[in-house]
Homo-oligomer: A and B are copies of this chain.
Amino acid sequence: MPTILGQNQYGKAENRVVKITRDGDTHHIKDLNVSVALSGELDEVHYSGSNANVLPTDTTKNTVFAFAKEHGIESAEAFGILLARHFVDSCAPIHRARIRIEEYSWERIATSDANSQFIGADEVQHSFVRKGQEIRTAQITYDGEGIQVLSGLKGLTVLNSTNSEFWGYIKDRYTTLPEDYDRILATEVASVWRHNVTGAEGERMPNWEKSYAQAKKNMLHAFAETYSLSLQQTLYQMGVRVINARPEIDEIRFSMPNKHHFKVDLAPFGMKNEAADGAVYYAADRPYGLIEATVLRDGAEALIPVDMTNL
């Protein structure tokens, strides 16, 4: 046979699991999208169609829902670790499991003490509105020995309306861009970071919820506080800030489109449009600069895959 099988994996993607926890009248919600990918002794299902080594994707789906009930969902990372270990440890032909999770955040609807006609209205603790800001992500991989935990976020759109310049670049035959000493800098942050945990017995895990909140906060602060000469410089400072602030994180990668805001030329209408006076901008869709880079704790190994987009 002149062809052979290479890397392969399978599983159920996008299991939309919602877990409510009731603490008296106070409810809590976890809202996840869980994708399972399994690898192992799976040559025959490709070669002959024998499913003897195949745990059906439908079963992996059932497991996600059953585990949410049995174990609750403390955090995306902790839930992913449980699932990844389960598939490899309980199913002999499966040697590696990768769990990818998206998490959607909700905040409580702060009900009204002013609406006195609604007795007890201010005590409602089971009503939520989706935050909608960024999507939190996690990826847990387990190969029967160690685990790797990546956390991340996507869709976090930020904008500085000043303190950004762009000049001093290479000019070749095809360069027409004028230098700019006061521009808008805006991007939609996608980021993945790697925790230095190994899954060794007795290892103490980070507080995943706090770690995430702090990583996001540091990223936002660095974005706001960096006087930027290039989006790359801002990106790097965001990575530095996260790694300096969080000892549990060794590596972080960003994919940041430069969401161009072009100053509109109003000269034909006899009008000035200077940044210093508060300008009007056209928010462009495509094309856009796309800036991608990894920042590492000195000595750490680069393990996060390079591709965060298909573009």
Tell me which residues across on chain B come within 8 A of A69, comparing CB atoms: 264, 266, 271, 273, 279-280
Residues of A contacting B: mostly = mixed
Distance in Å from the Cβ of A288 to the closest Cβ of chain B?
6
Distance in Å from the Cβ of A112 to the closest Cβ of chain B?
5
Q: Mark A61-104, 1 if CB is under 8 A from B, else 0.
A: 11101101110000000000000000000110100000010000
* Residue A155, interface by CB 8 Å: yes
Q: Is the CB–CB distance between B296 and A4 below 8 Å?
A: yes
Distance in Å from the Cβ of A62 to the closest Cβ of chain B?
4
Give A157's nearest chain B residue, CB to CB.
Answer: B130
Tell me which residues across on chain B come within 8 A of A17, comparing CB atoms: 280-283
Beyond contacts A55-B172, A59-B176: 4 other A-B pairs, Cβ-Cβ < 8 A, are A5-B296, A69-B266, A69-B280, A127-B225
- The answer, among B14, B217, B239, for a CB contact under 8 Å with A3, is B239
Tell me which residues across on chain B come within 8 A of A112, comparing CB atoms: 217, 221, 225
Tell me which residues across on chain B come within 8 A of A7, comparing CB atoms: 293-294, 302, 306
Q: Is the CB–CB distance between A131 and B133 below 8 Å?
A: yes
Complex-state Cα separation, A284 to B282, whole angstroms: 13
Q: Is the CB–CB distance between A177 and B56 below 8 Å?
A: yes
* Residue A143, interface by CB 8 Å: no
Q: Mark A268-311, 1 if CB is under 8 A from B, else 0.
A: 11010101111111111111111111111110001001111111
- Place the interface of chain A in its size category: 35 or more
How many copies, total?
A: 4
Q: Is the CB–CB distance between A269 and B111 below 8 Å?
A: no
Distance in Å from the Cβ of A270 to the closest Cβ of chain B?
9
- The answer, among B52, B126, B277, B289, for a CB contact under 8 Å with A10, is B289
- The answer, among B275, B290, B292, for a CB contact under 8 Å with A12, is B290
Complex-state Cα separation, A15 to B306, whole angstroms: 21
* Residue A158, interface by CB 8 Å: yes
Tell me which residues across on chain B come within 8 A of A140, comparing CB atoms: none
Q: Which of A106-123 contact B (CB under 8 A)?
A: 106, 109, 111-112, 115, 118, 121
* Residue A6, interface by CB 8 Å: yes
Q: Is the CB–CB distance between A175 and B56 below 8 Å?
A: yes
Q: Is the CB–CB distance between B229 and A49 below 8 Å?
A: yes
Tell me which residues across on chain B come within 8 A of A31, comparing CB atoms: 283
Q: Is the CB–CB distance between A127 and B223 below 8 Å?
A: yes
Q: Is the CB–CB distance between B295 and A5 below 8 Å?
A: yes
Q: Is the CB–CB distance between A128 and B161 below 8 Å?
A: yes
Distance in Å from the Cβ of A202 to the closest Cβ of chain B?
27
Q: Is the CB–CB distance between A52 and B311 below 8 Å?
A: no
Task: For the complex of A and B, list the 6 residue pairs with the smallest distance between their C-beta atoms, beginning with the closest.
Answer: A49-B229, A6-B294, A8-B293, A127-B224, A49-B233, A57-B289
- The answer, among B6, B8, B174, for a CB contact under 8 Å with A232, is B8
Q: Is the CB–CB distance between A13 and B289 below 8 Å?
A: yes
* Residue A170, interface by CB 8 Å: yes
